[in-house]
Structure 1
Amino acid sequence: MSNQSLHQRRSAAMAQGQGALHPVYVDKARNAEIWDVEGNRFIDLGAGIAVNNTGHSHPRIQAAVQAQLERFSHTCLMVTPYESAVELAEKLNDIAPGTTPKKSVFVTSGAEAVENCVKIARSYTGRPGVIAFKGGFHGRTNLTMGLTGKVKPYKAGFGPFPADIFHAPYPNAYHGVSVEESLAALDDLFVCDIEPNRVAAIIIEPVQGEGGFYPAPAEFMQALRERCDQHGILLIADEIQTGFARTGRMFATEYSGVEPDLMTMAKGIAGGFPIAAVVGKAEIMDHPGPGGLGGTYGGSPIGCAAALTVLDIIKEENLCERALSIGERMTARLRQLQQRFPARIGDVRNLGAMIAMELVVDGNVNCPDPELTKALITEAGQNGLILLSCGIRGNVVRFLPALTISDELIDESMDILDRCFATLS
């Protein structure tokens, strides 16, 4: 069996729309390393797109899932519930930012969580409108594509999208979009496009993920909270990629001191097992009636067992603190690389272990270099390093290492990156 033969079979059997960035077919994975079917070893700096914050195949998660499998694998939470879902809801309610009493609902994917946030917000407010941000990513379903602020490849050819969705510019100092300009554009939406008393919610990623790993300044999040309170609008924090210790806090919203009305949680919640959640203020969450929320697989007992263990691991292995040290170690190396290639690396930024390197032409922020980005991702993969790209212009390399990665593997991965960059430059 080879990567090439499997890739040929995949191309014949699976729709091309479900892409494959690296034609590497995994045989086994442990912590921050992957081995393919040919026995090649890779350092994984993608972590399944921020899913495996606790690393691949964490033995405690494996044990918890195995124990749950021996009892039962599915009954449907909406039919015959179970204690692990109750316990997980209690714990998520407790760790969500803010002091207002919270409640949770479980679904299966991040996109489902976003959709349910919008449903809940519209139910509670009686309003139709939703404001999202340019460059944001919220999913691939019809509604979440409408919310997503990037056309290719997510929205091209898939419309029409739902009405009453509007986009404002996301503040981005590197690209010259100030907090003041973003807020002014938001206020302009209220004047020109939709009156604020028809807006149910504003949804924001506290750090844009697919958009390019740009953190929202604390003052911007605080100003959004003020405008939402002024107009009776709900504030939704999409923490799907930023949650569960990734940024050095349990949730990135905590850096701003803002309490969202609703939050989406997925990806790193369960160490690779599919479960997602909406957590929000209890009064808001209780507005939809019985049967209005849920899904057949929502709150899977396997996912609940894994998620409860992930919460224990984050606390006991101090993964929030570890995310900060990972971020410091990796960005120090990336900035050294930037000093060597200032015309190619325009910016290095991070919030905890959510790290990005933006590639440009001749040091010009307005001249993105998606070709170099793509070439670097490919070259790194051929040299045993799994990287991901992002950014609305396709010119950002994103680093999402497992929070359990060793310093030795970080250094090895940065050595590989140095060599690959030098080869291409």
Structure 2
Amino acid sequence: MMRTRPLKVALLGCGVVGSEVARIMTTHADDLAARIGAPVELAGVAVRRPSKVREGIDPALITTDATALLKRGDIDVAIEVIGGIEPARTLITTAFENGISVVSANKALLAQDGAALHAAADAHGRDLYYEAAVAGAIPLVRPMRESLAGDKINRVMGIVNGTTNFILDKMDSTGAGYQEALDEATALGYAEADPTADVEGYDAAAKAAILAGIAFHTRVHLDDVYREGMTEVSAADFASAKRMGCTIKLLAILERAADGQSVTARVHPAMIPLSHPLASVREAYNAVFVEAEAAGRLMFYGPGAGGSPTASAVLGDLVAVCRNKLAEVTGPGESAYTRLPVSTMGEVVTRYHISLDVADKPGVLAQVATTFAEHGVSIDTVRQQGRPDGVGNEASLVVVTHRAPDAALSGTVEALRKLDTVRGVASIMRVEGE
């Protein structure tokens, strides 16, 4: 039976995503009501610039006082698409204190203060849903939080930032340099005027923290995530990757230790084999590869950003939260019962691809190999060739290692830098996905 009194929704923020949420709520109102079991009504829209024309939104709904909107007494659900830490954090807390469940797309806030927000939601018996905070339209948070709740996830590896994937894909497919590919991404609207959050890995790190917490049932803070950007990736790196049958992606990698007693979370560029499913993810798409004990390997793929895809995820959460409201129940909250420590990057076991500029004379290779041995790192392959730029008395030496602790690999690189025969370390890249 359809309940006649509508569930009232407060929309906090009305930018690209918020305006699309409002549009779909209006145009698909009948379908949403049928799926929920009650009409949903946009009861207010909190914005910073009330004079801006917002097509399709009744101007009478616009307010600059988000707090008053949440406290007026008739709001059932708040949708937070403001972004950032404040005022979003205070507004979400205010919503819970006033008996309002929350749907959020705020990855930065959830990565930093997710535990506190979950605690506030639980204290007031309200829902906190955030499918849109990670990988846009791709159903990922709820499958990991609910569908795989009976399984044990051991590893998550994915491309969770569309801007960086677009840039790296263009560098790979066209031979463009980093700046050229970034300029194209900016012209097409994939990159912001200030792309730092994307290209330096901050955006992906926030998403990695959220996913690690869900996957391993432990609290992973943004500061726990090791992060490297991809601004130093060069055309030469892609040439080396192709010789290995690989490509390069900016990856978020979350792992449970072999003994099950700790977890790691990291974001960095890496070479992956062309045979790996993530290698074929093109343009600005996202994809996440989940390895679970019983379910095996699962792949989630789709558009990871943009107004419509993100709004789709927001509205999926809205339907779920409204159904819970009608049934007078709440959905799953934070699951952090394992309380596993997050290990440092130095404890991660991985492989390195290292490109060195060395003196072109006898004994250099033996000296380099000795340095690796002294740090307990085994060499898989070595390739030596003359410098492509024709510099005399110098050669290019490419070493690919076997798996070793990252600290040992990093120590090896630092020792190599100190050798008289090593003119410079041209590039260092981890190798994953094998």
Q: Same fold (TM over 0.5)?
A: no
- Normalised TM-score (structure 2): 0.28
Larger RCO: Structure 1 or Structure 2 (Cα < 8 Å, ≥ 6 residues apart)?
1
1 or 2, which has the higher strand percentage? 2
When the two structures are superposed, what TM-score results if normalisation uses the length of structure 1?
0.28
